[in-house]
Amino acid sequence: MSTALKRIGVFTSGGDAPGMNACIRAVVRAGVYHGLEVMGIRRGYEGMIDGDFMAMPSPAVSNIIQRGGTILKSARSERFRTTGGRQQAFRQLEEAGIEGVVAIGGDGTFTGASIFCSEFGTPFIGIPGTIDNDLYGTDFTIGYDTAINTAVEAIDKIRDTAASHDRLFFIEVMGRDAGFIALRSGIAGGAEAILVPETETDIDQLISSLKNGWKKEKSSSIVIVAEGDETGGAFKVADAVKQKFSQYDTRVIILGHLQRGGQPSCMDRVLASRLGVAAVEALMDGHQNAMVGQIHREVVLTPFEQAIKHHAGLNPNLLKLAEILAS
């Protein structure tokens, strides 16, 4: 460690994700371990502009590793998109003596951090905290594992009532731009079809597949729909199916923000802890404008520019697996 840093800040931004608190805890504990003062920045970039800071000694993060959400809160910030807003944020950091910042969030968070770093030179290290798992530079993002397990638990329960009534359920999961949650939860939940933004949805083919299932005397059918599917979500897919095949007794379930909440899984707690410590040590080593991630079980640094510009793609083998298992 070659740094002369004395005080760093940490904040969460964008959509909350299970494991963010575990990550905050790791940043604070790592900072204390290395002799740094850690300041919590409430409400993301909004709090940075307002100087909403709090000292975070080690006891401040006791008993939070198991909690969902984020104790530092999260908020969108239109003001930070302006030059004046960023200048105000920089003045607040300077006055508080914060010399480096750990940003826990996703694309938007890292975009803001990259711009801020280029304008003012304040070193930022990002940690991928989003349930969507769509960031380049890490195999998994904090919150993803918990979210898919939450979705699978819901799918299992819905399957019980679907089988009891010979019903067809369309279950919409989060994933505005990416189908990671839909794909893995659909495979694990035994879905008859999985619709994701990355592939084009063919309603006729979907109906044909469902008809084949009924011919094989399947007692129920479940279709998982990512919210960003080009057909417009689960309700529109269900309507399109009913128009062409009205015999189905269909129901639609939107899991929505249920997937963001709850206690983080063991995997998310460990990942958050590992990346939190790595982020602090990256700052101390003089790194900046980059995201820490985990690839093939090793911690890696990816420049913000790459993490923002590139998006992780769905594994084509998993797409094929879903097709095979639904036959």
Number of residues assigned to the chain: 327
Bridge partner list, 11 = 103
- Which residue type occupies 307? A
- Rounded CA separation 300/294 (Å): 6
Active site residues: 132
- Rounded CA separation 100/7 (Å): 7
- 294, 139 in Cβ contact below 8 A? yes
Please, where are the H alpha helices in 83-190? Answer: 83-96, 107-120, 144-165, 180-188
Nearest to 16 by CA among 240, 260, 305: 260
Contacts of 157 (CB under 8 A, 6+ apart): none
Helix (H) or strand (E) holding 316, with range, is helix 316-325
Compute how many other C-beta atoms are within 10 angstroms of the C-beta atom of residue 13: 32
The burial class, CB within 10 Å (0-12 / 13-18 / 19+), for 215 is exposed
